[in-house]
Amino acid sequence: MPTYLFYPRRADGVSLTFIAEIAENDVEALGLASEIAQAHDCAGVFVWAPALAEGGADRFVGEMTRAAKPDARQPARARDADASL
């Protein structure tokens, strides 16, 4: 199972921490993101899947907001993203 990184963010968009969780797939990861958003005082949670292979790119999975409804748990289109800042 892949490890996903969850970045809860404040209303101003700043993320002060991250949470690493294991999930079966992107849909399950977005379900966890919804739970994290509901349990924390945050505006939303960005979800990333770290690259598994050397030279691969991290992948943005999606975002869930505190007001997200359970039926909104659809994975975002896979978009390769360079995680370097």
pTM exceeds cut of 0.75 = no
- Give the DSSP letter of residue 76: P
Q: pLDDT tens digits for the chain (85 residues)?
A: 788 888 888 888 888 888 888 889 889 988 998 888 888 777 677 788 777 767 777 788 888 887 644 444 444 444 444 443 3
With beta carbons less than 8 A apart as the criterion, state whether 8 and 17 touch. yes
Between CA 3 and CA 12, with CA 9 as vertex, the angle to 5 degrees is: 155
Q: How far apart are CA 74 and CA 54, in angstroms?
A: 28
- CA distance linking residue 5 with residue 2, whole number of Å: 10
Please give the single-letter amino acid code of residue 24. Answer: E
- Residue 46: closest CA among 70, 69, 85, 32: 32
